[in-house]
Structure 1
Amino acid sequence: MPLYEHVFLARQDLAQAQVDALAENATKIIEDNGGKVVKTEAWGLRSLAYRIAKNRKAHYVMLELDAPAAALAELERQTGINEDVIRYMTIRVDELEKGPTVMMRKGDRDRGERGPRGDGDRGGFRSERAPRGEEMEA
């Protein structure tokens, strides 16, 4: 069966228990239609880049699915009807990520690929001026 990642955003005024119930409902839909949910991750209440339906924040939930296309169509149909879900997106993937996703790995987000700070390196600019009359070396 094809593999999918399904992410939905729930309204900010929902309690965490209600968000968990939405995820359980999605799991039930997939399992009733012959698929299985490999992993469920709740990413928590996060700020949105722009307002969606008067919401500045949303609860993010990600499901990794191993399901037939009919099960996915039913999940998307019911997710679109639900008033508590403000956005959702499903993508097909070649393989599911092992371990926690990037959103759950705190260490990767903190300083990623940026270099250390405070080492005195100013990115190629000279810190002292050349005396008058002498040319600076390139």
Structure 2
Amino acid sequence: MPLYEHVFLARQDASAQQVEELTTQITGVIEGLGGKVTKTESWGLRSLTYRMNKNRKAHFVLLNIDGPAAVVSEIERQERINEDVIRYLTVRVDEHEEGPSAMMRKADRDRERDDRGPREGGFRGDREGRGDRDGFRGDRGPRRPREDADAPAAAVEE
């Protein structure tokens, strides 16, 4: 049987439990039509590149499917009907990827980066005060006092 990778995006308003139920429902349809789900990955709630149907975020789910083409057409039909599914994409592949997908490896790599601890300095945090400038203003030379600085003070005293 042909192999497919199927990714669908569920609305941000849906809870993780609702997304899990939706995944279970789709898996049931696949198995009911003679297919098999070899791997299920939930990539969690992620930001979208652009708004889709007034949503800025979505729950991403990957399913590796081993089944006939009728399975794919049926799950896509049901996802078009379902209001919780924003988008879906099914791609036929020659073989399924072993181990975690690229998105899960990226999440693990990002988690390892966070474990390194806080960074030193921060945004220009390593700079000392500006005492080394001594009033240097580039080509303009030193500042001269304003001539009209005393005028408003004299007018107030009268």
- The two structures have a TM-score, normalised by structure 1, of 0.77
Please, which runs of 5 or more residues in structure 2 have no aligned partner? 114-158
Number of corresponding residues: 111
- What pairs with 1:79-118 in structure 2 (closer than 5 Å)? 79-105=79-105, 106-107=108-109
The alpha carbon displacement at 1:72 in A equals: 1.1
Misfit runs of 4+, over 3 Å: 108-111
- What pairs with 1:1-138 in structure 2 (closer than 5 Å)? 1-105=1-105, 106-107=108-109
The alpha carbon displacement at 1:107 in A equals: 2.1
- Quick one: structure 1 residues 70 and 62, their matched pair in 2 at CA, closer, same or farther if it must change by over 3 Å? same
- Structure with the higher fraction of residues in strand conformation: 1
Q: 1 or 2 for the larger relative contact order (CA 8 Å, sep ≥6)?
A: 1
- Structure with the higher fraction of residues in helix conformation: 2
Q: Which of structures 1 and 2 has the bigger CA Rg? A: 2
What is the identity percentage for the equivalent residue pairs of Structure 1 and Structure 2?
A: 65
CA distance in 1, matches of 2:64, 2:44: 17
